[in-house]
A and B are shown apart, each in its own frame.
Chain A
Protein backbone atom coordinates (compact mmCIF):
# COMPACT_ATOMS: atom_id res chain seq x y z
CA UNK A 1 0.00 0.00 0.00
CA UNK A 2 1.12 3.47 -0.87
CA UNK A 3 -0.03 4.52 2.61
CA UNK A 4 2.64 2.49 4.31
CA UNK A 5 5.56 4.55 3.06
CA UNK A 6 8.21 5.51 5.52
CA UNK A 7 9.16 9.14 5.36
CA UNK A 8 12.85 9.68 4.80
CA UNK A 9 14.93 6.54 4.84
CA UNK A 10 15.11 5.77 8.52
CA UNK A 11 16.14 2.21 9.24
CA UNK A 12 14.69 1.03 12.54
CA UNK A 13 17.42 -0.16 14.85
CA UNK A 14 18.99 0.28 18.23
CA UNK A 15 22.69 0.48 17.47
CA UNK A 16 24.92 2.98 19.22
CA UNK A 17 24.65 5.14 16.13
CA UNK A 18 20.87 5.19 16.46
CA UNK A 19 21.20 6.27 20.06
CA UNK A 20 23.69 9.06 19.48
CA UNK A 21 22.34 12.54 19.92
CA UNK A 22 21.04 13.81 16.58
CA UNK A 23 22.78 17.17 17.03
CA UNK A 24 26.09 15.42 17.56
CA UNK A 25 25.48 13.24 14.51
CA UNK A 26 24.85 16.26 12.30
CA UNK A 27 27.98 18.02 13.55
CA UNK A 28 30.11 14.90 13.18
CA UNK A 29 28.79 14.30 9.67
CA UNK A 30 29.74 17.84 8.73
CA UNK A 31 33.18 17.36 10.32
CA UNK A 32 33.64 14.17 8.35
CA UNK A 33 32.72 15.89 5.09
CA UNK A 34 35.31 18.57 5.81
CA UNK A 35 37.92 15.94 6.64
CA UNK A 36 37.23 14.22 3.32
CA UNK A 37 38.33 17.38 1.60
CA UNK A 38 41.48 17.89 3.61
CA UNK A 39 42.65 14.36 2.98
CA UNK A 40 45.31 14.31 0.29
CA UNK A 41 47.41 11.13 0.48
CA UNK A 42 46.51 7.50 -0.08
CA UNK A 43 47.18 6.37 3.50
CA UNK A 44 44.90 9.15 4.74
CA UNK A 45 42.26 8.04 2.27
CA UNK A 46 42.64 4.47 3.47
CA UNK A 47 41.97 5.62 7.02
CA UNK A 48 38.84 7.37 5.77
CA UNK A 49 37.60 4.22 4.04
CA UNK A 50 38.25 2.10 7.11
CA UNK A 51 36.31 4.57 9.22
CA UNK A 52 33.39 4.57 6.77
CA UNK A 53 33.28 0.76 6.79
CA UNK A 54 33.38 0.73 10.58
CA UNK A 55 30.45 3.15 10.78
CA UNK A 56 28.36 1.03 8.42
CA UNK A 57 29.16 -2.11 10.42
CA UNK A 58 28.33 -0.48 13.75
CA UNK A 59 25.03 0.89 12.47
CA UNK A 60 23.85 -2.63 11.53
CA UNK A 61 22.14 -1.15 8.49
CA UNK A 62 22.19 -3.87 5.79
CA UNK A 63 24.95 -3.34 3.23
CA UNK A 64 22.36 -3.74 0.50
CA UNK A 65 20.56 -0.61 1.70
CA UNK A 66 23.80 1.31 1.83
CA UNK A 67 24.63 0.28 -1.73
CA UNK A 68 21.18 1.48 -2.77
CA UNK A 69 22.10 4.95 -1.56
CA UNK A 70 25.23 4.93 -3.74
CA UNK A 71 23.34 3.91 -6.87
CA UNK A 72 21.99 7.35 -7.80
CA UNK A 73 25.48 8.86 -7.75
CA UNK A 74 27.15 6.08 -9.76
CA UNK A 75 26.89 8.14 -12.94
CA UNK A 76 28.49 11.18 -11.33
CA UNK A 77 31.32 9.03 -10.00
CA UNK A 78 31.89 7.43 -13.40
CA UNK A 79 31.77 10.78 -15.16
CA UNK A 80 34.27 12.52 -12.88
CA UNK A 81 36.57 9.50 -13.00
CA UNK A 82 36.66 9.52 -16.80
CA UNK A 83 37.30 13.25 -16.90
CA UNK A 84 40.12 12.91 -14.38
CA UNK A 85 41.73 10.01 -16.20
CA UNK A 86 41.92 11.95 -19.46
CA UNK A 87 42.64 15.41 -18.24
CA UNK A 88 45.03 15.11 -15.32
CA UNK A 89 48.61 15.10 -16.62
CA UNK A 90 51.88 14.22 -14.95
CA UNK A 91 53.56 11.16 -13.55
CA UNK A 92 54.50 8.19 -15.72
CA UNK A 93 52.66 7.96 -19.02
CA UNK A 94 50.67 4.70 -19.22
CA UNK A 95 49.03 4.98 -22.60
CA UNK A 96 50.21 7.34 -25.26
CA UNK A 97 48.26 6.60 -28.42
CA UNK A 98 47.26 9.26 -30.94
CA UNK A 99 45.17 11.76 -28.96
CA UNK A 100 44.71 9.57 -25.88
CA UNK A 101 47.26 10.27 -23.18
CA UNK A 102 46.73 8.55 -19.88
CA UNK A 103 49.20 9.11 -17.09
CA UNK A 104 49.59 7.49 -13.69
CA UNK A 105 48.58 10.75 -12.03
CA UNK A 106 45.35 10.75 -13.96
CA UNK A 107 44.45 7.24 -12.82
CA UNK A 108 45.37 8.00 -9.22
CA UNK A 109 43.35 11.19 -9.18
CA UNK A 110 40.34 9.45 -10.68
CA UNK A 111 40.52 6.70 -8.10
CA UNK A 112 40.99 9.18 -5.29
CA UNK A 113 38.02 11.29 -6.30
CA UNK A 114 35.75 8.28 -6.75
CA UNK A 115 36.54 6.93 -3.29
CA UNK A 116 36.03 10.37 -1.80
CA UNK A 117 32.58 10.82 -3.29
CA UNK A 118 31.45 7.34 -2.28
CA UNK A 119 32.64 7.88 1.32
CA UNK A 120 30.84 11.20 1.44
CA UNK A 121 27.55 9.76 0.28
CA UNK A 122 27.76 6.68 2.48
CA UNK A 123 28.45 8.71 5.61
CA UNK A 124 25.72 11.25 4.97
CA UNK A 125 23.22 8.51 4.25
CA UNK A 126 24.24 6.87 7.54
CA UNK A 127 22.94 10.01 9.22
CA UNK A 128 19.49 9.66 7.68
CA UNK A 129 19.43 5.87 8.10
CA UNK A 130 19.94 6.11 11.84
CA UNK A 131 17.96 9.26 12.65
CA UNK A 132 14.19 9.72 12.36
CA UNK A 133 13.00 12.80 10.47
CA UNK A 134 11.48 14.08 13.71
CA UNK A 135 14.79 13.82 15.52
CA UNK A 136 16.53 15.51 12.61
CA UNK A 137 14.08 18.40 12.66
CA UNK A 138 14.45 18.83 16.40
CA UNK A 139 18.22 18.71 16.12
CA UNK A 140 18.29 21.26 13.32
CA UNK A 141 16.05 23.51 15.41
CA UNK A 142 18.46 23.26 18.32
CA UNK A 143 21.57 23.75 16.19
CA UNK A 144 20.12 26.79 14.45
CA UNK A 145 18.73 28.35 17.62
CA UNK A 146 21.65 30.80 17.93
CA UNK A 147 20.23 32.42 14.77
CA UNK A 148 17.36 33.66 16.91
CA UNK A 149 19.46 36.68 17.83
CA UNK A 150 19.27 37.70 14.18
CA UNK A 151 15.47 37.55 14.46
CA UNK A 152 15.25 34.38 12.38
CA UNK A 153 12.15 32.45 13.54
CA UNK A 154 13.94 29.13 13.94
CA UNK A 155 11.25 27.34 15.95
CA UNK A 156 8.56 28.42 13.50
CA UNK A 157 10.64 27.07 10.64
CA UNK A 158 11.11 23.81 12.52
CA UNK A 159 7.37 23.63 13.13
CA UNK A 160 6.81 24.06 9.40
CA UNK A 161 9.22 21.22 8.67
CA UNK A 162 7.46 18.97 11.16
CA UNK A 163 4.06 19.78 9.69
CA UNK A 164 5.34 19.11 6.18
CA UNK A 165 6.60 15.70 7.30
CA UNK A 166 3.36 15.02 9.10
CA UNK A 167 1.21 15.80 6.07
CA UNK A 168 3.15 13.91 3.39
CA UNK A 169 1.31 10.61 4.01
CA UNK A 170 -2.02 12.43 4.35
CA UNK A 171 -1.55 14.16 1.02
CA UNK A 172 -0.44 10.95 -0.66
CA UNK A 173 -3.70 9.41 0.51
CA UNK A 174 -5.55 12.40 -0.81
CA UNK A 175 -3.88 12.13 -4.23
CA UNK A 176 -4.84 8.47 -4.30
CA UNK A 177 -8.45 9.32 -3.56
CA UNK A 178 -8.65 12.14 -6.08
CA UNK A 179 -7.00 10.01 -8.77
CA UNK A 180 -9.56 7.27 -8.23
CA UNK A 181 -12.40 9.78 -8.22
CA UNK A 182 -11.22 11.29 -11.51
CA UNK A 183 -10.72 7.86 -13.05
CA UNK A 184 -14.25 6.97 -12.02
CA UNK A 185 -15.38 10.06 -13.92
CA UNK A 186 -13.58 8.81 -17.00
CA UNK A 187 -10.30 10.70 -16.76
CA UNK A 188 -7.52 9.03 -18.73
CA UNK A 189 -4.32 9.43 -16.75
CA UNK A 190 -2.09 6.67 -18.03
CA UNK A 191 -2.14 7.04 -21.81
CA UNK A 192 -0.86 9.61 -24.22
CA UNK A 193 2.44 11.34 -24.73
CA UNK A 194 4.36 13.31 -22.17
CA UNK A 195 2.49 16.61 -22.69
CA UNK A 196 -0.90 14.90 -22.60
CA UNK A 197 -0.06 13.16 -19.37
CA UNK A 198 1.04 16.38 -17.74
CA UNK A 199 -2.21 17.99 -18.84
CA UNK A 200 -4.11 15.06 -17.38
CA UNK A 201 -2.61 15.89 -13.99
CA UNK A 202 -4.42 19.22 -13.79
CA UNK A 203 -7.72 17.69 -12.60
CA UNK A 204 -5.75 16.06 -9.80
CA UNK A 205 -3.62 18.98 -8.75
CA UNK A 206 -6.41 21.54 -8.59
CA UNK A 207 -8.60 19.61 -6.13
CA UNK A 208 -5.47 18.72 -4.17
CA UNK A 209 -4.65 22.40 -3.73
CA UNK A 210 -8.19 23.29 -2.76
CA UNK A 211 -8.37 20.57 -0.16
CA UNK A 212 -4.90 21.38 1.18
CA UNK A 213 -5.88 24.98 1.75
CA UNK A 214 -9.03 23.85 3.52
CA UNK A 215 -6.96 21.50 5.65
CA UNK A 216 -4.56 24.30 6.48
CA UNK A 217 -7.40 26.45 7.80
CA UNK A 218 -8.70 23.67 9.99
CA UNK A 219 -5.21 22.83 11.19
CA UNK A 220 -4.62 26.47 12.09
CA UNK A 221 -7.81 26.48 14.17
CA UNK A 222 -6.80 23.26 15.88
CA UNK A 223 -3.33 24.64 16.67
CA UNK A 224 -4.88 27.85 17.99
CA UNK A 225 -7.12 25.79 20.24
CA UNK A 226 -4.08 24.06 21.65
CA UNK A 227 -2.59 27.43 22.52
CA UNK A 228 0.13 27.47 19.86
CA UNK A 229 1.38 31.02 19.54
CA UNK A 230 4.69 30.40 17.79
CA UNK A 231 6.23 32.73 20.29
CA UNK A 232 8.53 32.18 23.23
CA UNK A 233 7.52 30.31 26.37
CA UNK A 234 7.24 26.96 24.66
CA UNK A 235 8.78 23.96 26.40
CA UNK A 236 9.61 20.57 24.91
CA UNK A 237 8.79 17.19 26.33
CA UNK A 238 11.81 15.48 24.85
CA UNK A 239 14.92 17.19 26.08
CA UNK A 240 18.09 16.50 24.18
CA UNK A 241 20.86 15.44 26.44
CA UNK A 242 24.43 14.67 25.53
CA UNK A 243 25.60 11.36 26.95
CA UNK A 244 29.07 9.93 27.41
CA UNK A 245 28.68 8.07 24.10
CA UNK A 246 28.25 11.37 22.28
CA UNK A 247 31.56 12.64 23.61
CA UNK A 248 33.24 9.35 22.76
CA UNK A 249 31.96 9.70 19.19
CA UNK A 250 33.26 13.25 19.14
CA UNK A 251 36.66 12.02 20.33
CA UNK A 252 36.76 9.31 17.65
CA UNK A 253 36.07 11.79 14.87
CA UNK A 254 38.63 14.24 16.33
CA UNK A 255 41.23 11.45 16.29
CA UNK A 256 40.28 10.63 12.73
CA UNK A 257 40.86 14.20 11.61
CA UNK A 258 44.17 14.36 13.52
CA UNK A 259 45.21 11.10 11.88
CA UNK A 260 44.39 12.44 8.44
CA UNK A 261 46.40 15.58 9.03
CA UNK A 262 49.41 13.56 10.24
CA UNK A 263 49.22 11.16 7.30
CA UNK A 264 48.92 14.11 4.93
CA UNK A 265 52.19 15.51 6.29
CA UNK A 266 54.19 12.28 6.15
CA UNK A 267 53.04 10.95 2.82
CA UNK A 268 53.13 12.39 -0.66
CA UNK A 269 49.97 14.13 -1.76
CA UNK A 270 48.17 12.52 -4.67
CA UNK A 271 46.32 15.60 -5.73
CA UNK A 272 48.55 18.23 -7.22
CA UNK A 273 46.85 21.51 -7.59
Chain B
Protein backbone atom coordinates (compact mmCIF):
# COMPACT_ATOMS: atom_id res chain seq x y z
CA UNK B 1 0.00 0.00 0.00
CA UNK B 2 1.79 3.10 -1.18
CA UNK B 3 -0.96 5.76 -1.14
CA UNK B 4 -2.93 6.70 1.89
CA UNK B 5 -6.64 6.70 1.24
CA UNK B 6 -8.18 9.98 2.43
CA UNK B 7 -11.78 9.58 1.31
CA UNK B 8 -13.56 6.29 1.18
CA UNK B 9 -17.14 5.47 0.14
CA UNK B 10 -18.06 2.01 1.33
CA UNK B 11 -21.22 0.68 -0.30
CA UNK B 12 -22.99 4.01 0.22
CA UNK B 13 -26.65 4.57 -0.58
CA UNK B 14 -28.53 7.80 -0.25
CA UNK B 15 -32.12 8.74 -0.92
CA UNK B 16 -33.76 12.12 -0.55
CA UNK B 17 -36.79 11.85 1.66
CA UNK B 18 -40.16 11.69 -0.03
CA UNK B 19 -41.66 15.09 -0.68
CA UNK B 20 -45.36 15.86 -0.53
CA UNK B 21 -45.95 15.77 -4.26
CA UNK B 22 -43.86 12.86 -5.45
CA UNK B 23 -44.59 10.16 -2.97
CA UNK B 24 -41.67 7.86 -3.65
CA UNK B 25 -38.33 8.66 -2.10
CA UNK B 26 -35.74 9.27 -4.78
CA UNK B 27 -32.75 7.00 -4.66
CA UNK B 28 -29.86 9.16 -5.78
CA UNK B 29 -26.84 7.06 -4.94
CA UNK B 30 -26.96 3.31 -4.63
CA UNK B 31 -24.18 0.97 -3.53
CA UNK B 32 -21.50 3.53 -4.28
CA UNK B 33 -17.85 2.65 -3.75
CA UNK B 34 -14.96 5.04 -4.22
CA UNK B 35 -11.49 5.47 -2.76
CA UNK B 36 -9.54 8.68 -3.16
CA UNK B 37 -5.83 8.56 -2.29
CA UNK B 38 -4.23 11.59 -0.70
CA UNK B 39 -2.88 14.16 -3.14
CA UNK B 40 -4.99 13.05 -6.07
CA UNK B 41 -6.78 15.40 -8.44
CA UNK B 42 -10.02 13.62 -9.15
CA UNK B 43 -12.65 14.86 -11.57
CA UNK B 44 -16.20 13.58 -11.27
CA UNK B 45 -18.22 13.80 -14.47
CA UNK B 46 -21.84 13.17 -15.15
CA UNK B 47 -24.88 14.83 -16.62
CA UNK B 48 -27.39 16.71 -14.46
CA UNK B 49 -29.13 14.61 -11.85
CA UNK B 50 -26.64 11.74 -11.93
CA UNK B 51 -25.91 12.16 -8.24
CA UNK B 52 -22.56 13.91 -8.43
CA UNK B 53 -23.54 16.84 -6.20
CA UNK B 54 -24.97 14.39 -3.70
CA UNK B 55 -21.64 12.60 -3.60
CA UNK B 56 -19.96 15.94 -2.88
CA UNK B 57 -22.30 16.69 0.00
CA UNK B 58 -21.83 13.18 1.41
CA UNK B 59 -18.09 13.75 1.68
CA UNK B 60 -18.23 16.40 4.36
CA UNK B 61 -21.31 15.41 6.20
CA UNK B 62 -23.85 17.92 4.88
CA UNK B 63 -25.69 14.77 3.88
CA UNK B 64 -25.36 11.50 5.73
CA UNK B 65 -25.67 8.15 3.91
CA UNK B 66 -28.91 6.18 4.39
CA UNK B 67 -26.79 3.06 4.42
CA UNK B 68 -23.09 2.32 4.04
CA UNK B 69 -20.28 4.46 5.33
CA UNK B 70 -18.27 7.47 4.20
CA UNK B 71 -14.93 7.91 5.92
CA UNK B 72 -12.72 10.96 5.68
CA UNK B 73 -9.20 10.48 6.95
CA UNK B 74 -10.52 7.62 9.07
CA UNK B 75 -13.45 9.61 10.48
CA UNK B 76 -17.00 8.45 9.92
CA UNK B 77 -19.03 11.38 8.54
CA UNK B 78 -22.22 10.16 10.19
CA UNK B 79 -20.68 10.61 13.63
CA UNK B 80 -22.23 13.86 14.85
CA UNK B 81 -19.46 14.52 17.36
CA UNK B 82 -16.74 14.34 14.75
CA UNK B 83 -18.41 16.25 11.95
CA UNK B 84 -16.37 19.39 12.74
CA UNK B 85 -13.19 17.32 12.43
CA UNK B 86 -14.41 16.03 9.09
CA UNK B 87 -14.94 19.60 7.92
CA UNK B 88 -11.49 20.58 9.13
CA UNK B 89 -10.17 17.96 6.75
CA UNK B 90 -12.42 18.56 3.76
CA UNK B 91 -13.35 22.03 2.59
CA UNK B 92 -16.05 22.64 0.08
CA UNK B 93 -16.52 25.23 -2.64
CA UNK B 94 -19.96 25.64 -4.15
CA UNK B 95 -21.24 26.67 -7.53
CA UNK B 96 -22.48 30.15 -6.75
CA UNK B 97 -19.78 32.36 -5.23
CA UNK B 98 -22.39 34.88 -4.08
CA UNK B 99 -23.99 32.37 -1.76
CA UNK B 100 -20.88 31.36 0.10
CA UNK B 101 -19.22 34.68 0.89
CA UNK B 102 -20.30 35.80 4.34
CA UNK B 103 -18.42 39.01 5.04
CA UNK B 104 -18.52 42.51 3.58
CA UNK B 105 -14.76 42.67 3.09
CA UNK B 106 -12.64 40.12 1.22
CA UNK B 107 -10.08 39.48 3.97
CA UNK B 108 -12.79 39.17 6.62
CA UNK B 109 -14.44 36.50 4.55
CA UNK B 110 -11.25 34.50 4.18
CA UNK B 111 -10.77 34.81 7.95
CA UNK B 112 -14.24 33.37 8.63
CA UNK B 113 -13.20 29.69 8.54
CA UNK B 114 -10.11 29.99 10.77
CA UNK B 115 -12.09 32.22 13.15
CA UNK B 116 -14.65 29.45 13.51
CA UNK B 117 -11.87 26.99 14.24
CA UNK B 118 -10.63 29.17 17.09
CA UNK B 119 -7.23 29.91 15.56
CA UNK B 120 -5.33 32.67 17.42
CA UNK B 121 -5.65 36.14 15.76
CA UNK B 122 -2.07 36.65 14.55
CA UNK B 123 -2.06 33.16 13.08
CA UNK B 124 -5.34 33.93 11.24
CA UNK B 125 -3.75 37.07 9.79
CA UNK B 126 -0.87 34.98 8.47
CA UNK B 127 -3.12 32.32 6.99
CA UNK B 128 -5.41 34.90 5.36
CA UNK B 129 -2.54 36.75 3.71
CA UNK B 130 -1.02 33.48 2.58
CA UNK B 131 -4.31 32.16 1.17
CA UNK B 132 -5.08 35.40 -0.65
CA UNK B 133 -1.60 35.41 -2.19
CA UNK B 134 -2.01 31.77 -3.24
CA UNK B 135 -5.14 32.58 -5.26
CA UNK B 136 -3.73 35.90 -6.50
CA UNK B 137 -6.28 38.05 -4.70
CA UNK B 138 -3.99 39.69 -2.14
CA UNK B 139 -4.27 43.14 -3.61
CA UNK B 140 -8.06 42.93 -3.37
CA UNK B 141 -8.04 42.11 0.35
CA UNK B 142 -9.71 45.37 1.40
CA UNK B 143 -12.37 45.32 -1.31
CA UNK B 144 -16.05 44.58 -1.03
CA UNK B 145 -16.93 41.19 -2.56
CA UNK B 146 -19.86 42.53 -4.58
CA UNK B 147 -17.49 44.68 -6.61
CA UNK B 148 -15.45 41.69 -7.80
CA UNK B 149 -15.98 39.59 -10.91
CA UNK B 150 -17.37 36.06 -10.68
CA UNK B 151 -13.97 34.43 -11.10
CA UNK B 152 -12.46 36.69 -8.46
CA UNK B 153 -15.28 35.94 -6.02
CA UNK B 154 -14.82 32.22 -6.57
CA UNK B 155 -11.10 32.60 -5.89
CA UNK B 156 -11.94 34.39 -2.64
CA UNK B 157 -14.20 31.47 -1.72
CA UNK B 158 -11.33 29.07 -2.46
CA UNK B 159 -8.97 31.20 -0.35
CA UNK B 160 -11.50 30.90 2.47
CA UNK B 161 -11.04 27.13 2.35
CA UNK B 162 -7.24 27.26 1.95
CA UNK B 163 -7.03 29.40 5.08
CA UNK B 164 -8.63 26.54 7.00
CA UNK B 165 -5.63 24.34 6.04
CA UNK B 166 -7.78 21.48 4.87
CA UNK B 167 -6.11 18.43 3.35
CA UNK B 168 -8.79 18.07 0.76
CA UNK B 169 -11.05 20.42 -1.20
CA UNK B 170 -14.29 19.36 -2.83
CA UNK B 171 -15.55 21.68 -5.54
CA UNK B 172 -19.08 21.36 -6.78
CA UNK B 173 -19.09 22.86 -10.28
CA UNK B 174 -17.09 25.90 -9.18
CA UNK B 175 -16.88 27.25 -12.71
CA UNK B 176 -20.46 26.69 -13.83
CA UNK B 177 -21.48 30.31 -13.33
CA UNK B 178 -18.30 31.90 -14.65
CA UNK B 179 -17.24 33.26 -18.01
CA UNK B 180 -14.33 31.56 -19.86
CA UNK B 181 -11.83 33.95 -18.36
CA UNK B 182 -13.10 33.33 -14.83
CA UNK B 183 -13.08 29.58 -15.46
CA UNK B 184 -9.46 29.72 -16.50
CA UNK B 185 -8.53 31.67 -13.34
CA UNK B 186 -10.25 29.13 -11.14
CA UNK B 187 -8.80 26.12 -12.96
CA UNK B 188 -5.29 27.54 -12.68
CA UNK B 189 -5.84 28.01 -8.96
CA UNK B 190 -7.13 24.46 -8.54
CA UNK B 191 -4.17 22.94 -10.37
CA UNK B 192 -1.71 25.04 -8.40
CA UNK B 193 -3.25 23.87 -5.12
CA UNK B 194 -3.00 20.26 -6.15
CA UNK B 195 0.49 20.33 -7.65
CA UNK B 196 2.25 22.78 -5.34
CA UNK B 197 0.49 22.25 -2.04
CA UNK B 198 -0.41 18.61 -2.43
CA UNK B 199 -4.05 19.23 -1.56
CA UNK B 200 -6.40 16.47 -2.63
CA UNK B 201 -8.91 17.98 -5.05
CA UNK B 202 -12.25 16.52 -6.00
CA UNK B 203 -13.64 18.55 -8.86
CA UNK B 204 -17.22 17.96 -9.83
CA UNK B 205 -17.83 19.34 -13.27
CA UNK B 206 -19.46 18.87 -16.60
CA UNK B 207 -16.75 20.55 -18.59
CA UNK B 208 -14.62 17.95 -20.35
CA UNK B 209 -11.63 20.24 -20.82
CA UNK B 210 -11.47 20.63 -17.03
CA UNK B 211 -11.67 16.90 -16.43
CA UNK B 212 -8.78 16.31 -18.84
CA UNK B 213 -6.46 18.12 -16.43
CA UNK B 214 -7.20 15.71 -13.58
CA UNK B 215 -5.14 12.70 -12.52
CA UNK B 216 -8.20 10.51 -12.57
CA UNK B 217 -11.70 10.80 -13.97
CA UNK B 218 -14.79 9.12 -12.60
CA UNK B 219 -17.89 9.15 -14.76
CA UNK B 220 -21.20 8.73 -12.97
CA UNK B 221 -24.60 7.76 -14.23
CA UNK B 222 -27.75 7.13 -12.20
CA UNK B 223 -25.81 7.17 -8.96
CA UNK B 224 -23.22 4.66 -10.06
CA UNK B 225 -19.70 4.80 -11.39
CA UNK B 226 -19.62 3.72 -15.00
CA UNK B 227 -16.08 4.66 -15.96
CA UNK B 228 -13.04 5.19 -13.77
CA UNK B 229 -9.46 5.78 -14.83
CA UNK B 230 -6.90 8.25 -16.07
CA UNK B 231 -8.38 10.79 -18.51
CA UNK B 232 -6.65 9.19 -21.47
CA UNK B 233 -8.32 5.87 -20.86
CA UNK B 234 -11.72 7.28 -19.94
CA UNK B 235 -12.04 9.48 -23.00
CA UNK B 236 -11.28 6.56 -25.30
CA UNK B 237 -14.85 5.45 -24.70
CA UNK B 238 -16.35 8.08 -26.95
CA UNK B 239 -19.51 6.13 -27.75
CA UNK B 240 -20.13 5.15 -24.16
CA UNK B 241 -19.74 8.78 -23.00
CA UNK B 242 -22.09 10.01 -25.70
CA UNK B 243 -24.71 7.45 -24.73
CA UNK B 244 -24.54 8.93 -21.22
CA UNK B 245 -25.29 12.38 -22.57
CA UNK B 246 -21.73 13.61 -22.14
CA UNK B 247 -19.30 15.13 -24.58
CA UNK B 248 -15.64 14.37 -25.04
CA UNK B 249 -12.95 17.05 -25.43
CA UNK B 250 -13.09 18.59 -28.90
CA UNK B 251 -9.71 17.21 -29.95
CA UNK B 252 -10.75 13.71 -28.89
CA UNK B 253 -13.95 14.11 -30.83
CA UNK B 254 -12.12 15.13 -33.99
CA UNK B 255 -9.66 12.23 -33.70
CA UNK B 256 -12.55 9.86 -33.13
CA UNK B 257 -14.37 11.00 -36.25
CA UNK B 258 -11.26 10.88 -38.39
CA UNK B 259 -10.52 7.37 -37.18
CA UNK B 260 -14.05 6.36 -38.00
CA UNK B 261 -13.58 7.83 -41.45
CA UNK B 262 -10.65 5.48 -41.92
CA UNK B 263 -7.66 7.54 -40.94
CA UNK B 264 -4.91 5.94 -38.91
CA UNK B 265 -5.10 7.93 -35.69
CA UNK B 266 -4.64 6.62 -32.14
CA UNK B 267 -7.67 6.56 -29.81
CA UNK B 268 -6.08 8.29 -26.84
CA UNK B 269 -5.91 11.89 -28.06
CA UNK B 270 -6.70 14.49 -25.38
CA UNK B 271 -5.69 17.94 -26.56
CA UNK B 272 -5.25 19.99 -29.70
CA UNK B 273 -1.47 19.55 -29.86
CA UNK B 274 -1.62 15.77 -29.75
CA UNK B 275 -4.43 15.81 -32.27
CA UNK B 276 -2.48 17.97 -34.70
CA UNK B 277 0.62 15.80 -34.36
CA UNK B 278 -1.38 12.62 -34.93
CA UNK B 279 -3.08 14.00 -38.03
CA UNK B 280 0.25 15.18 -39.38
CA UNK B 281 1.94 11.83 -38.93
CA UNK B 282 -1.07 10.03 -40.43
CA UNK B 283 -0.87 12.27 -43.48
CA UNK B 284 2.89 11.82 -43.83
CA UNK B 285 2.55 8.03 -43.85
CA UNK B 286 0.28 8.31 -46.83
Q: Which of B18-26, B121-129, B205-213, B220-228 contacts A (4 or more CB under 8 A)?
A: B121-129
Q: Does A272 contact B (CB under 8 A)?
A: no
Q: Is the CB of B146 within 8 A of A169?
A: yes
Q: Is the CB of B100 within 8 A of A218?
A: yes
CA gap between A166 and B98 in the complex, in Å: 10
Q: Is the CB of B87 within 8 A of A227?
A: yes
Query: In chain A, residues 122-164, which have Cβ atoms closer than 8 Å to a Cβ of chain B?
Result: 132-134, 162-163
Q: Does B134 contact A (CB under 8 A)?
A: no
Contacts of A173 in B (CB 8 A): 146
Also in contact, A225 and B87, with CB within 8 A (given A166-B103, A170-B98, A218-B96):
yes
**Closest chain B CB from A119 CB (angstroms):** 30
Closest B residue by C-beta to A6: B144
Contacts of A165 in B (CB 8 A): 104
Q: How many residues of A contact B (CB 8 A)?
A: 32
Contacts of B98 in A (CB 8 A): 170, 215
Contacts of A219 in B (CB 8 A): 99-100, 102
Query: In chain A, residues 4-47, which have Cβ atoms closer than 8 Å to a Cβ of chain B?
Result: 4, 7
Q: Is the CB of A162 within 8 A of B104?
A: yes
CA gap between A134 and B100 in the complex, in Å: 18
A-B Cβ contacts below 8 A, count: 99
Query: In chain B, residues 46-98, which have Cβ atoms closer than 8 Å to a Cβ of chain A?
Result: 57, 60, 62, 84, 87-88, 91-92, 94, 96, 98
Q: Which of A53-61, A181-189, A232-240 contacts B (4 or more CB under 8 A)?
A: A232-240
Interface SS of chain A: helix
Q: Is the CB of B103 within 8 A of A4?
A: no
Contact of A133 among B60, B94, B101, B104 (CB under 8 A): B104
Query: In chain B, residues 94-145, which have Cβ atoms closer than 8 Å to a Cβ of chain A?
Result: 94, 96, 98-105, 107-108, 111-121, 124-125, 128, 144-145
Q: Does B151 contact A (CB under 8 A)?
A: no
Q: Is the CB of B100 within 8 A of A237?
A: no
Also in contact, A237 and B108, with CB within 8 A (given A218-B99, A219-B100, A224-B87):
yes
Q: Is the CB of A227 within 8 A of B94?
A: no
CA gap between A133 and B88 in the complex, in Å: 30
**Closest chain A CB from B268 CB (angstroms):** 37
Q: Is the CB of A226 within 8 A of B164?
A: yes
Q: Does B174 contact A (CB under 8 A)?
A: no
Q: Is the CB of A237 within 8 A of B146?
A: no
Contact of B94 among A4, A222, A235, A236 (CB under 8 A): A222
Q: Is the CB of A237 within 8 A of B124?
A: yes
Q: Does A3 contact B (CB under 8 A)?
A: yes
**Closest chain A CB from B127 CB (angstroms):** 9
Contacts of B120 in A (CB 8 A): 235
Q: Mark A236-252, 1 if CB is under 8 A from B, else 0.
A: 11110000000000000
Contacts of A239 in B (CB 8 A): 121
Q: Does B231 contact A (CB under 8 A)?
A: no
The list of the 6 closest CB pairs from A to B, nearest first, reads A222-B100, A169-B146, A237-B111, A218-B99, A237-B124, A226-B113
Residues on A lying within 8 angstroms of B by beta carbon are 3-4, 7, 132-134, 162-163, 165-166, 169-170, 173, 215, 218-219, 221-229, 233-239
Q: A225-B62, A226-B164 are in contact. List 5 more A-B contacts (CB 8 A).
A: A162-B102, A218-B94, A221-B57, A223-B102, A227-B87
22 CB-based A-B contacts, threshold 8 Å = A4-B147, A134-B103, A166-B145, A169-B144, A169-B146, A219-B99, A222-B94, A224-B62, A224-B87, A226-B87, A226-B91, A226-B164, A227-B116, A228-B116, A233-B118, A234-B118, A235-B115, A235-B118, A235-B121, A237-B121, A237-B125, A238-B108
Residues on B lying within 8 angstroms of A by beta carbon are 57, 60, 62, 84, 87-88, 91-92, 94, 96, 98-105, 107-108, 111-121, 124-125, 128, 144-147, 160-161, 164
